Amino acid sequence: MNRNVTRKPSKKGGKTYLKYAILILAAISLDFVVSHVADDLVTYKYESEFDAVTAATVKVGLVPSDYDGLENPSSRDADITYEQVEDMVRKAIDLQGGFDWVIDKGDNVMLKVNLVGANSPSGQGENTDVRVVKALIKIIDEFTEGDVEIVVAEGSARTNDDPESSSSVWANSGYTALKSDAYLNGINFRFLNLNQSIDDVVEVDLGDKGMSSIQGSVYGVHAAELQADVYIVVPVLKIHDTGITNALKLQVGTAPGCYYGYNKMAGTTHSPGLYHDVGFRRWTTEMIVDLCNIADIDFVVVDALMCLETYKTYKGDNQVRMNTIIAGVDPVAVDHVCAELMGLNPDDIAHITLAEKAGLGTNDPDKINVEGATISEVAKRVKKNTSENGKFGQSNRTWILSGPYEGTSIATEYIPGEASVKAVPGQDGWTQPVYFFDDRIDLSSFYSDQTNIVSYAYTNVYAPKAQEAELWLGAQEAIYVYLNSELVYSSTTTKTYGDNDIGSKVATVQLAKGENALMVKTLNRFGDYSFALNICEPETNSIYAGNRVKGLKFYQTSGSTPLQNITGEGKLKITLTPNPARDFVNISVAAEADEPVRIIITNLKGQTIKSFAGIRGSQTLNWDLQDETNRKIQAGTYLCIWESNGKRQTIKFMVK
């Protein structure tokens, strides 16, 4: 049986919609599926295959309960009322730009919440606080003057809960009671369990946009998600084995339990599960990004009232009260801010960095304007999940490679003067930059399972200051690590490292301010050829150890570190608001020097749509989204390119 699902005219970036059909698969052995897909796993991709366009500047609203702009501010350690929560939600939404270019009258709005614990009351930190959802329902209804349909949706990994059942997670978290709440009387909203009814599951094929080869880039999701005009995610901020659970990770809940099984990994007679591991490879990150691509998130409101550290579930001693609401249109930027609020480095959260590569948002702090309170005012250092690779942070995943060289000795110099080599992509036998999808740099796959070989991996490292740092490393066989021509670590032994011990501190190293050269030389005799490497902040407390050095960046072409752009040095900043745009966009130019700036708007093919020349100083251009022939441009993704004093930079924006 096939069926097409037609999505309502959308404001979600003007993309060409895929056809969706019910996925009916024959019942097959799960073991067969694992062995079959494992033969075709894609474990790496050249960086040139990603969309490398710099994301636009975005706003994120950050409102703690003691924010001065609230009607009744209160301590961040105190219990707060529903009225205070609603005020915080309203303020966070307003600070990041409001709903003006997100929601229209007549829209179908889906609120995707986070419901995990069946016996976890609202406000405990395990499930999205029902007060935040109640406030959103009220605010959206007011904004649309009642002309709206609101669907509160979730697909719990634990159970096929009926929202109407008095013993369900919906009821125990206070959601079911909203239907009889006098404050919401007359508002058109309903609950939807995304796990129910295989008849509502549709197949989405992401094609070339898909990241997870193990899923074949094909996913089953509930039809209602695709039909929503506006998709708003409402996570509760928690630590998880992926680093954090927030806006991006929350999309795993869109995978229907009736299709994937009720822990989302079990599989059913209709499909294999959502694999998290095959062999030593972890695939959670790619699946998160793929499901985010399908969801096409329009807005995020984060419940950071009561957060959880160490685990995603309440354990009795892992609550962290923040009394904070975060809001924004860019889910990557929101997750970036939330990671920092918990004392983590966003560059250590693999699904954040990969989502940026996939074009889903910005992870660049220079392009995230936090409105309201500052991150430093609100942040609390939380305990990480150390049972998985969360303690390690994230391995640098992009390298240029040289080899393989036949040999069984790590001591032999296969590249003369190897310690002092400054490798250049595509020259002298070095590859172009290669991105690996796992913390383990899968050299076995790259070198087609050859044994008795040696190879080299190289990257440059930008450090914001001269400082001592920790080298965290995992390797299977002999390995040398050179930093700025010095051998900072060597091992000639054979060992084992697994997902729960992917790396640990092996040495203290000294970073120079600015550019550093990092070379890794590895030997493979026995088969599982991989290594994992991170450079972390010095830390004596193992609970907090393993965070990548703040501001540190890995990059492969000397002198091209992303931090060396003049927008981050106060000379010139350009921002576009709103983004996505609908009827207009404000292009704000802030320049200290009296240098002429030229702005060019192009489509993704590089064709010029509009240009503005001779701009000086600080000013704001209000562009009506008409091209040079005075015709309104179509919905889609565009580039804003500015040129000044021989320098050029590009940011991306969207028109709905």
Please name the residue that has the structure tokens 């506006």: 230
Residue 271 has what pLDDT?
67
pLDDT digit string, tens, across residues 177-204: 999 999 999 999 999 999 888 889 999 9
The mean pLDDT value for 581-609 works out to 78
Residue 317 has pLDDT above 50, yes or no: yes
Q: What is the 3-state secondary structure (H, E, C) of 455-524?
A: EEEEEEEEECCCEEEEEEEEECCCEEEEECCEEEEEECCCCCCCHHHCCEEEEEEEECCEEEEEEEEEEE
**Higher pLDDT residue, 490 or 595?**
490
Residue 242 has what pLDDT?
82
Number of Cβ atoms within 10 Å of the Cβ of 412: 12
Residue 441's nearest CA partner among 426, 429, 458 is 458
607: helix, strand or coil: coil
87, 88, 92, 95: CA torsion to nearest 10: 60
The mean pLDDT value for 268-290 works out to 76
Residue 404 has what pLDDT?
96
**Higher pLDDT residue, 342 or 169?**
342
At 188, the amino acid letter reads N
Cα distance between residue 290 and residue 272, in whole Å: 16
Q: What CATH number is given for 566-655 in this structure?
A: 2.60.40.1930
**Higher pLDDT residue, 317 or 595?**
317
Range with the largest mean pLDDT of 504-508, 526-530, 634-638: 504-508
| Banded pLDDT at 455 (limits 50, 70, 90) | very high
The mean pLDDT value for 600-618 works out to 80
CB 20 within 8 A of CB 226: yes
Residue 482 has pLDDT above 90, yes or no: yes
Half-sphere exposure in the Cβ direction for 15 (13 Å, CA): 14
Residue 109 has pLDDT above 60, yes or no: yes
Residue 233 has what pLDDT?
98
The mean pLDDT value for 89-114 works out to 95
Cα distance between residue 363 and residue 56, in whole Å: 10
The mean pLDDT value for 223-232 works out to 95
Residue 530's nearest CA partner among 437, 423, 604, 441 is 441
Residue 157 has pLDDT above 80, yes or no: no
Cα distance between residue 362 and residue 326, in whole Å: 16
Identify the CATH assignment for 391-555 out of 1.10.1740.10, 2.60.40.60, 3.30.465.10, 2.60.120.380.
2.60.120.380
Does domain 30-39+53-66+84-93+103-385 correspond to CATH entry 3.40.50?
yes
Residue 655 has what pLDDT?
85
Q: What is the DSSP string of 12-71?
A: STTPPPPP-B--------HHHHHHHHHTT---EEEGGGS--PPBPPEEEEEEETT-TTSS
Residue 47 has what pLDDT?
87
Which part of the chain is CATH 3.40.50?
A: 30-39+53-66+84-93+103-385
Cα distance between residue 432 and residue 249, in whole Å: 30
According to DSSP, the residues that pair with 283 across neighbouring strands are none
User: What integer best gives the mean pLDDT of the chain?
Assistant: 85
Pairing of strands 218-222, 230-234: unpaired
Residue 231 has what pLDDT?
97
The mean pLDDT value for 346-366 works out to 91
Which part of the chain is CATH 2.60.120.380?
A: 391-555
207-221, 225-239, 296-310, 532-546: which range is least confident on average? Answer: 207-221
At 609, the amino acid letter reads I
Residue 564 has pLDDT above 70, yes or no: no
Q: What are phi and psi of 381, to 5 degrees?
A: -80, 120
| Banded pLDDT at 56 (limits 50, 70, 90) | low
Number of Cβ atoms within 10 Å of the Cβ of 493: 8
Residue 373 has pLDDT above 90, yes or no: yes
Residue 265 has what pLDDT?
79
Half-sphere exposure in the Cβ direction for 632 (13 Å, CA): 10
Which part of the chain is CATH 2.60.40.1930?
A: 566-655
